[in-house]
Amino acid sequence: MRIARPESRRTVGSELRIAGAAAAILVIGFGCASPTAEESFERGPLPYHVAVYVDRATSEFAPPPVDPSKPGSAPAAPGTKPGAAPKSAPDGSSDVAPNAASARSRGTGGGLAGGGGGGGPGNPAPASAEGEAAADPSAEKEPEPEPAARYLLDADTLAQSIARSLAEGSGTVAKAVPLSASSRDEAVNAARAGSADLLLVVSFKTRSQYDERQWIPGWCVLEVGFWLFGGIPSWFIPSVKYLTRAELDVETVDLSHARAQGKATASAISRASSPPQPAGGGGKASPDARDPNAPWEAKFESPGHNVSLWNRSHPFHRPGDYLLTILVPPLVLYNGEAARLSDELTADVTSDLESQLADSLRARLLEGEKSTPLSVCFMAPDPTDAIEEPSVSLKIAVASRGAGRIVALDVHRFATSTEKYRWVMPAPQITELANELSAMDRSPAGVGASDPATQGGGYVYVALPDPIPLAPGENTVKVRLLRDDGEQITRTMVYVRGE
């Protein structure tokens, strides 16, 4: 094993030979061409295994569409589980979505929009009225209005989408997995059982249906210009804005810190957190914004999205809309096709919120690495590179800030097609590493400083003595650090070996 402590960021550390209890340990510095720990954090995914949980209890999703073949079926209220019975009011009537009031006003006889007549899904008509309608076949039925667009994802599919965007889309973290749980405490336990480093508790809210829209003057002028002089290009101008009013509230739970401090549930951690930051702020931690272990809460909004005729109507499903553009500009045909518009708005809302979350979470984690009591950076190999060899030589950088001393460092490799690999640093080498970190933390840069980020806090580079075997496919490598004052962290990186 090799331990390196660079003298500075610009110079190569000198070579030292340290006598260990059983064998000599070579301490070398990385070359000038090698990236620093800070640069390694910036260049690739951050070393976190994140679990994503969407809390149904605090979320409001659009109710599922009514099945025309089941006249007695009704959409579930936002926040209820799919298939769950709607809540009953004291008078025996069923609850409806809060946003359904506007839809109800468009129906007849007090029914929901799309229900038609006095009866309708969620608000059945009296039996006598049904009997009269059946007795008079000539009675004209009120035509059912076309259903409005809606958000299509539920809690589980949204969690899957967020996890995929954090790990694969944006490359924010090394690994992200969705969780399906009935409560926050169950989600915390499931995340720990899955060896996650961080839990994201997500609450999502949006309108029950997307039926409110407005024209955007600038885009409308451009569309009319194309319609007058070009025709077809006007189909692709996003002149109509649909108001989605979607919100995503996120709270982080540092699982490794919770284990070290003996905090058993997310609710115990939540009580120490500050109120969420208003939308657009990118998140805010506790009153001490530099406390890396404080819960981080953020609120993101996606108020509306512009769509074009092409986004609203498929030319094969609604060819009439495109033929009518011979007479009128596309902005007049704003209704569109509910299914296509739902797909478009769902994708836009989800992508918008995921992008905001990825940017803010990355900034928060990078800031925390500068001041957290323990920090681990994966230096080599680069996780973004394709790996063809059956093993890799792992190099990490370790930082310890504060009075505690390192008492354990171990490395684990998990893969589905092979047995777990584990390496534990021997006691003599742990002592040398603890001495190096203590000396660095007592460096002159930290004398008298109150900011933890300036109290030494440099990184000691550690190279494992033997290569880590990799199985074909995905290999999850975890590094665990423990100090004698109870501080501990687990950091994760994923390496993919070609088949």
Tens-digit pLDDT string for the chain (499 aa)? 545 444 333 332 333 333 333 333 333 333 334 567 777 777 779 999 999 999 999 998 877 665 555 544 444 443 444 434 334 333 333 333 334 333 333 333 333 333 333 334 344 444 444 444 444 554 555 555 567 889 999 999 999 999 999 998 778 999 999 999 999 999 999 999 999 999 999 999 999 899 888 999 999 999 899 899 888 999 999 999 999 999 999 999 988 764 444 443 333 333 333 333 433 444 444 434 445 456 789 999 999 999 999 988 888 888 988 898 899 999 898 888 889 999 999 999 999 999 999 999 999 998 888 888 899 999 989 888 888 999 999 999 999 988 889 999 999 999 988 889 999 999 999 999 999 888 876 654 433 333 333 334 588 999 999 999 999 999 999 999 999 988 899 999 999 988 7
Question: Who's near 444: CB < 8 A, 6+ residues apart?
Answer: none
User: Exposed, middle or buried by CB within 10 Å (0-12, 13-18, 19+), for 52?
Assistant: buried
Whole-prediction pTM: 0.72
Residue keyed to tokens 């919100």: 247
Tell me, what's the pLDDT at 357?
95
Task: Look up residue 430 and give its amino acid.
Answer: I
Query: Six-digit token pair at 442?
Result: 């007592």
Q: Residue 351, Cα to own-chain centre: how many angstroms?
A: 11
Q: How many CB atoms lie within 10 A of CB 199?
A: 26
Domain range annotation of the chain: 2-34+371-497, 93-146, 155-369
**What class, spelled out in words, does domain 2-34+371-497 have in CATH?**
mainly beta
Please give the Cα distance from 392 to 383 (Å, whole number): 11
Please give the Cα distance from 183 to 54 (Å, whole number): 10
Task: Look up residue 317 and give its amino acid.
Answer: H
Please give the Cα distance from 493 to 377 (Å, whole number): 9
Please give the Cα distance from 78 to 117 (Å, whole number): 24
Residue keyed to tokens 């009997």: 131
Query: Six-digit token pair at 429?
Result: 């080498």
